[in-house]
């Protein structure tokens, strides 16, 4: 949950809730229609008197305290105060959430309650889905560059899909951007920080004609590269991104809303490169830089020419994303109809130096050309004076993807060539869902939901080409799934400020394919669908309203065929990562959020997430033992074992929080200052990993100071992240010859000024 909310005037509300702009002046005369969570239009009445000096601090999202879920809701103010500007930043403000860059790139993996996997090719459905304005992104990278002009974010763990969208097993991250307003508003933000980093945002919103309104927002990011090569002084990591989003809304009457939205992102940013921590193959010394700012990378002119990039190619992105969506909402009275049509596309060109050395042993360039069409239609309503609430709907998704991986192994003695792997993906799914809840006497509510999904996907045209050598053509493969998911639960509002709930959920996620660096046909065998039965007990409470809030949930996950990144050994080639199934596994844990205003001007938040899990049956190649055998005998031999009883490798403990002192100043100014912190426990990068196969734990400390104007129309902030300049590993992995870590950001100190009118 967000730590606290601030309400100083309707002008301030308009920053995070655009529709509240209708209440910003005594002269407002027209009601404005917004769309609430249920999809029903709600009317905001005009306000004739506004006291701009009024001050009332309270905890945010009070209505959510009566909803039986473990969702973490994050306000736009909180995200801005904690400098959360990318998806990966969400792990600093939500419990039991780990979000990691894939090999330092813009692609992101999610682990929510330990559920997730490292899909480098990004061609499979993730266990945790990303939504932007109710549009599900089948491939997480499609959301890159879109976290600006946000209204709020919600992180919901566990199986979902009986109320909207698509079923999955790990949960979902829902981002909501600001909508058009019926009165004029505009604003801008400029953020400048260490290493010449700059971020700029601006928006404008208002009416066009009777019933018509619009919103246009954009951002740019530049600089910030903090890695450098001490041997030649070259620098790496500068951002170069711009994005634009537009919305056009038509409200012909107080029952109907039609909104067209679109966005475009161009990302030519450099990426963070790997730091090798262990040499698996060969005798060359590693750079030995540690997890600081120093790093090595390389790109041979021949390889740059092959992939069609310049000779000075650095690890970087060359990506383009765009999409459009149309939503229609109509209130029929007894029920509200919602239809959302969306088309999303991505064009990626991405270079990474995965061995983290100046040699060409695992230099990789990949291209992705994909598009996704989704259509959702749902009908929801209430009856019996609000005691009965229901929703029924259907969801359709069609995706197409073409990928090509180029590899430069020229300096890898066992290969000594450049090669390319190409493949296509076709996918189509349809699902039907329904959910019903009924409020019994004594504030007891029962509910049930059901989803049925058909999914069909195939991999086509896969070839593996060695330049100057042989080309292998592989047989297409297909996989289909026909599954049910569902949920039943009961909640009890036993006090006006306390809710207890229990639910059981079955989640489903379709199977797919591992397609990276394919050498033998068996690597294209599809992995099976994943199912999970989740038991959850939760409490939401405000023991001292306005002073103390405590929310928490405990869970147990019973997995069947959990999709896990395991290991396959290719003779005369070496070990490769492969998504496979663990026939039986389990996990359990809890998360909690404490929000407190203990006295005076002090406001605090503490999120805690703890989880454990193990495999109960998982036969696979033991990567550590296989590597050790190769080191001793210089021969690849798969050492098999069953990982029964082995820990699932996820961080056991995650913590994050902040404290803020809010100090009123003369003439209506206010100063907010305080620290924030984050801890992540050790995480395995290979099944059963110990030693260098695990990312070390880390603790980060930050701070912020913000001066608010009396009118709340502008504020100035100075902030620091990683103020102790800790060296830590954000993520890790394996290349052909080395194991590597991706280092996290060093200390960043910056300043930000923003204004809203």
Q: pLDDT-derived band of residue 289, with 50, 70 and 90 as boundaries?
A: confident
What pLDDT does 518 receive?
76
Enumerate long-range contacts of 381-386, CB under 8 Å, 24 or more apart.
381/334, 381/335, 381/336, 382/38, 383/334, 386/439
Tens digit of each residue's pLDDT (9 = 90 or more) over 688-716: 888 999 999 999 999 999 999 998 899 99
Q: Which of 488, 532, 478 is nearest to 508 (CA)?
A: 532
User: Is 60 exceeded by the pLDDT of residue 54?
Assistant: no
Following DSSP, what letter does each residue of 618-631 receive, concatenated? -EEE-HHHHHHHHH
pLDDT digits (tens, 9 = 90+) for 561-576: 999 988 888 877 788 8
Other CB atoms within 10 A of residue 143 CB: 22
Residue 602, pLDDT score: 95
Residues 181-207 pLDDT 10s:
999 999 999 999 999 999 999 999 999
Contacts of 320 by beta carbon, 8 Å cutoff, 6+ apart:
264, 265, 266, 267, 346, 347, 348
Tokens of 610: 């703890």
Least reliable range by pLDDT among 110-124, 138-152, 468-482, 644-658:
110-124
Higher-pLDDT residue of 109, 221 = 221
Strands (E), 210-334: 212-223, 227-228, 235-236, 239-253, 256-267, 275-279, 316-317, 319-331
Say what the pLDDT of residue 28 is.
32
Residue 118's pLDDT band (boundaries 50, 70, 90)?
Answer: confident
Length of the chain, in residues: 757
| Angle value at C-alpha 553, between 551 and 554, nearest 5 degrees | 155
- Whole-number pLDDT of residue 354: 87
pLDDT on residue 18: 36
CB 576 within 8 Å of CB 605 = no
How does DSSP classify residue 549? E
Q: What is the pLDDT of residue 42?
A: 41
Per-residue model confidence (pLDDT) at position 16: 36
3-class SS string, 116-131: CCCCCCCCCCCCEEEE
**CA-CA distance, 385 to 474, in Å (whole number)?**
61
What's the confidence (pLDDT) of residue 533?
A: 97
Q: What is the pLDDT of residues 377-411, one digit of tens each?
A: 999 999 999 999 999 999 999 999 999 999 999 99
pLDDT at 631 over 90: no
pLDDT range class, residue 51, cuts 50, 70, 90: very low
464, 472 in Cβ contact below 8 A? yes
Kindly tell me if the per-residue pLDDT of 322 is higher than 80: yes
By three-state DSSP, how is residue 521 classified? helix
Asked if 130 and 137 count as a contact pair (C-beta separation under 8 A), the reply is yes
Residue with tokens 């210089």: 634
Average pLDDT of 234-256?
Answer: 96
**What is the per-residue pLDDT across 341-386, written as a single tens digit (0 to 9) for each?**
999 999 999 999 988 899 999 899 999 999 999 999 999 999 999 9
Tokens of 609: 């997430």
Angle at 625 between CA 621 and CA 627, to 5 degrees: 95
Exposed/middle/buried for residue 384 (C-beta within 10 Å: 0-12, 13-18, 19+)? exposed
Q: Find where tokens 């601030």 sit.
A: 6
Helix/strand/coil percent split, the chain, to 5: 10, 55, 35
Pair 488, 448: CB distance under 8 Å: yes
Query: For 73-108, how does the pLDDT look when each residue is reduced to its tens digit (9 = 90+)?
Result: 999 999 998 999 998 999 999 999 998 888 888 788
Q: Mean per-residue pLDDT for 481-485?
A: 94
| Bridge partners (DSSP) listed for residue 589 | 555, 611
Q: Of the ranges 9-13, 278-282, 443-447, 479-483, which one carries the lowest mean pLDDT score?
A: 9-13
Is 5-130+148-756 a CATH 3.40.630.40 domain?
no
User: Per-residue pLDDT averaged across 266-291, rounded?
Assistant: 90
Between CA 450 and CA 390 the distance in angstroms is 12
Q: Which two tokens stand for residue 410?
A: 């020229």
The predicted structure's pLDDT at residue 4: 35
3-class secondary structure, 573 = coil
Element (H, E) at 352: strand 335-353
The three-state DSSP-derived secondary structure of 638-677 is: CCEEECCCCECCCCCEEEEEEEEEEEECHHHCEEEEEEEE
DSSP helix/strand/coil, 614: strand
Distance (Å, whole) CA 317 – CA 114:
28
C-beta of residue 275 within 8 angstroms of C-beta of residue 61: no
pLDDT of the residue at 30 = 33
For the chain, the average pLDDT equals 89
Nearest Cα residue to 589 out of 610, 618, 564, 563:
610
45 Cβ contact partners less than 8 Å away, ≥ 6 residues apart: 31
pLDDT at residue 45 tops 90: no
Tokens of 691: 């030693």
Q: Does 413 score more than 90 pLDDT?
A: no
CA distance 310 to 48: 62
Best CA proximity match to 25, nearest among 184, 179, 203, 149 = 184
In whole angstroms, what is the distance from residue 98 CA to residue 591 CA?
Answer: 13
Query: Any residues with CB less than 8 A from the CB of 218 and at least 6 apart, and which?
Result: 148, 201, 202, 203, 242, 243, 244, 245
| For residues 703-730, average pLDDT | 95
The rounded percent of the chain whose pLDDT value lies above 70 is 92
The pLDDT assigned to 19 comes to 36
Residue 135 to residues 130, 213, 243, 413, 601, Cα–Cα distance (Å): 8, 21, 18, 47, 40
Q: Which residues are within 8 A (CB) of 426 and not within 5 positions of it... i.e. 6 or more apart?
A: 399, 400, 457, 458, 460
Which helix (H) or strand (E) segment is 11 a member of? Answer: helix 10-16
Q: Around Cβ 441, how many Cβ atoms within 10 Å?
A: 6
Q: Provide the strand spans (E) within 665-721.
A: 670-680, 683-684, 694-695, 698-708, 714-721
CA distances from 510 to 63, 112, 124, 228, 454 (A): 34, 18, 9, 42, 9
- What DSSP state is assigned to residue 270? B
d(CA 73, CA 68): 13
Q: Where are the beta strands (DSSP E) in 138-238?
A: 150-157, 171-177, 185-193, 197-209, 212-223, 227-228, 235-236
**Structure tokens, 245:** 């989003």
More confident residue, 26 or 348: 348
Residue 636's pLDDT is 87
498-504: average pLDDT: 98
Checking if the pLDDT of 57 tops 90, the result is no
pLDDT digits (tens, 9 = 90+) for 648-666: 999 999 999 999 999 999 9
The CA distance from 18 to 249, in Å, is: 13
pLDDT for 50? 36
């Amino acid at each position: 949950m967000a730590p606290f909310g601030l309400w100083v005037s309707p002008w301030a509300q308009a920053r995070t809730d655009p529709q509240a702009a209708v209440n910003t002046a005594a002269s407002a005369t027209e009601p404005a229609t917004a769309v609430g969570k249920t999809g029903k239009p709600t009317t905001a009445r005009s306000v004739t008197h506004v006291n701009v000096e009024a001050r009332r601090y309270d905890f945010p999202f009070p209505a959510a305290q009566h909803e039986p879920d473990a969702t973490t809701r994050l306000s736009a103010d909180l995200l801005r105060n904690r400098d959360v500007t990318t998806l990966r930043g969400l792990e600093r403000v939500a419990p039991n959430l780990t979000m990691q860059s894939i090999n330092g790139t813009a692609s992101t993996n999610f682990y929510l309650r330990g559920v997730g996997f490292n899909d480098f090719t990004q061609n499979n459905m993730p266990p945790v889905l990303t939504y932007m304005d109710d549009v599900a992104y089948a491939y997480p990278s499609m959301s890159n560059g879109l976290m600006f002009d946000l209204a709020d974010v919600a992180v919901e763990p566990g199986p979902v899909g009986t109320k909207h969208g698509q079923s999955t097993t790990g949960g979902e991250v829902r981002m909501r951007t600001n909508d058009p307003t019926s009165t004029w508003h505009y604003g801008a933000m400029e953020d400048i920080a260490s290493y010449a980093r700059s971020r700029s945002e601006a928006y404008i919103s208002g009416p066009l004609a009777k019933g018509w309104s619009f919103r246009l927002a954009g951002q740019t990011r530049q600089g910030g590269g903090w890695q450098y090569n001490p041997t030649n002084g070259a620098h790496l990591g500068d951002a170069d991104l711009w994005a634009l989003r537009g919305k056009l809304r038509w409200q012909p009457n107080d029952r109907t809303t039609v909104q067209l939205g679109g966005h475009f992102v161009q990302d030519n940013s450099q990426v963070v490169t790997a730091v090798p921590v262990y040499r698996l193959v060969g005798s060359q010394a590693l750079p030995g830089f540690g997890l600081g700012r120093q790093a090595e990378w390389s790109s041979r002119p021949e390889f740059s020419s092959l992939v069609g990039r310049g000779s000075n190619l650095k690890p970087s992105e060359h990506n383009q994303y765009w999409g459009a969506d149309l939503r229609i909402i109509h209130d029929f009275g007894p029920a509200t109809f919602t239809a959302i049509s969306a088309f999303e596309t991505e064009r990626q060109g991405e270079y990474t130096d995965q061995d983290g050395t100046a040699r060409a042993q695992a230099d990789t360039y990949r291209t992705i050309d994909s598009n996704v069409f989704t259509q959702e239609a749902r009908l929801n309503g209430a009856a019996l004076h609000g005691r009965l609430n229901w929703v029924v709907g259907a969801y359709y998704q069609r995706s197409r993807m073409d990928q090509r991986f180029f590899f430069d192994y020229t300096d890898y003695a066992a290969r000594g060539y450049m090669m390319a792997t190409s493949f296509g993906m076709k996918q189509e799914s349809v699902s039907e869902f329904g959910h019903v809840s009924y409020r019994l006497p004594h504030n007891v509510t029962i509910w049930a939901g059901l989803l049925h999904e058909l999914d069909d996907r195939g991999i086509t045209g896969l070839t593996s080409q060695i330049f100057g050598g042989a080309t292998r053509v592989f047989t297409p493969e297909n996989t289909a799934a026909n599954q049910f998911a569902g949920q039943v639960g009961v909640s009890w509002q036993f006090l006006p400020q306390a809710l207890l709930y229990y639910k059981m959920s079955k989640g489903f996620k379709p199977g797919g394919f591992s397609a990276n660096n394919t050498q033998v046909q068996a690597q294209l065998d599809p992995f099976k669908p994943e199912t999970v039965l989740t038991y959850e007990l939760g409490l939401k409470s405000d023991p001292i309203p306005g002073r103390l809030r405590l929310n928490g949930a405990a869970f147990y996950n019973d997995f069947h065929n959990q999709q896990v990144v395991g290991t396959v050994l290719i003779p005369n080639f070496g070990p490769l990562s492969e998504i496979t199934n663990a026939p039986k596994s389990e996990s359990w844990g809890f998360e909690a959020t404490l929000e407190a205003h203990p006295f005076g001007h002090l406001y605090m938040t503490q999120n805690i997430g703890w989880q454990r899990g193990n495999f109960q049956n998982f036969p696979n190649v033991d990567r550590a033992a296989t590597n050790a055998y190769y080191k001793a005998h210089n021969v690849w031999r798969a050492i098999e074992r069953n990982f029964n009883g082995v820990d699932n490798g996820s961080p056991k403990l995650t913590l994050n929080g902040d404290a803020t002192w809010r100090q009123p100043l003369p003439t209506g100014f206010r100063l907010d200052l305080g620290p924030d912190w984050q801890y992540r426990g050790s995480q395995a990068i290979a099944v059963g990993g110990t030693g260098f196969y695990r990312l070390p734990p880390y603790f980060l400390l930050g701070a912020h100071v913000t001066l608010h104007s009396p009118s709340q129309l502008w504020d100035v902030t100075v902030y620091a992240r990683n103020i102790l300049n800790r060296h830590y590993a954000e993520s890790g992995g394996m290349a052909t010859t080395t194991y590597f870590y991706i280092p996290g950001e060093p200390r960043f100190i910056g300043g930000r000024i923003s204004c809203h009118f």
